[in-house]
Structure 1
Amino acid sequence: MNVASILKGKGGNIITAKADDEISAVAALLKEHGIGAVLVVGEGQALEGVISERDIVRGLAESGSGCLGKKASELMTSNVITCSPADTVDEVMSLMTTRRIRHLPVMDEGVLSGFISIGDVVKSRIDEIETEAAAMRDYIATG
């Protein structure tokens, strides 16, 4: 299974923010959509960064409530690690674990095509294991 199959199952809706959006607006987006991170995009959906709950918590710890008036560009991670639709579930699981990240933008030939979370990856792997187990049970049952 690969990233393309994860995106096919979850759909292509990508929640984004702009670099000059206030952190309070980004936090409202996270709450509204029940997500842990948004992509920060510029002109033509060009990927500029990722801002997550962790970034906002770090900003609050460093600046107090004043960070809510800061711009997304001030707290976002701009050195973004990405994956491609062809990457396998095992590859992205390893990347996320090694780099201690929970969200990966999906780039297809330089174009943003999706955004996956560790939850999406784990769900995909569990589905794959359940399918394999069912196939094994059927094989054993039919002799």
Structure 2
Amino acid sequence: MAITVRMILDEKGRAVVTAPATTSISEVAVILHQNRIGAVVIADEGDRIAGIFTERDLAAAVGKHGARALTAPVSQEMTDNVYRCDEGTTVNELMEVMTKRHFRHVPVEVDGKLAGIISIGDVVKSRIREVEQEAEHIKSYIAG
């Protein structure tokens, strides 16, 4: 049985750190640091995904604009064409997309609204668990 995004979210939880598009980049940097996360989903009042802002986006903004980037609204530097997945997406599908597109975070959308976020760490942990379970099944089969 393939591991799905729903299974990962059921285990890890569905909480997502979000910020409105008007938040300054420096405020988002504080949010990233305080929460020890690599991405903040930029959401509107209806919990719809408007964008995503990552550590890489922060580095790019400061690299392009210097310190003045920090006072700009996050909407100016966020990725607004966000790749999303749904709860039925399998870990293997997500792994393939994350590898090809160099994503480390993918928001989960259900009925047009933010329902969670999956990181590359979540994908790796679930894949390791899956491989360990397969190994146990093989051992049991051989021993039995």
**TM-score interval (norm. to shorter):** over 0.9
Unaligned runs of 5+ in 1: none
Q: Which residue of 2 aligns with 1:19?
A: 21
Q: Percent identity?
A: 45
Aligned length: 142
1-structure distance, mates of 2:72, 2:129: 40
* Distance apart, 1:15 and its partner CA: 0.3
Residue type at the aligned position of 1:122:
V
Structure 2: how far apart are the matches of 1:17 and 1:2? 27
What is the TM-score when the length of structure 1 is the normalising length?
0.96
Match of 1:77 among 79, 85, 99: 79
| Aligned counterparts of 2:126 and 2:48: Cα–Cα separation in 1 | 27
Q: Which consecutive aligned stretches of 4+ in structure 1 deviate over 4 angstroms post-superposition?
A: none
Q: Which amino acid aligns with 1:93?
A: M
Aligned 1:1-143 pairs, distance under 5 A: 1-141=3-143, 143=144
- Cα deviation, residue 111, structure 1: 2.0
CA distance in 1, matches of 2:38, 2:113: 22
Post-superposition offset of 1:109: 2.4
Report SS of the residue matched to 1:44.
coil
1:112-143 alpha-carbon deviations (Å, 9 max, x no partner): 111111111111111111111112212222x2
Contact 2:46-2:113 at 8 Å conserved across structures: no
TM-score, length basis structure 2: 0.95
Which amino acid letter does the alignment assign opposite residue 7 of structure 1? L
SS of equivalent to 1:48:
strand
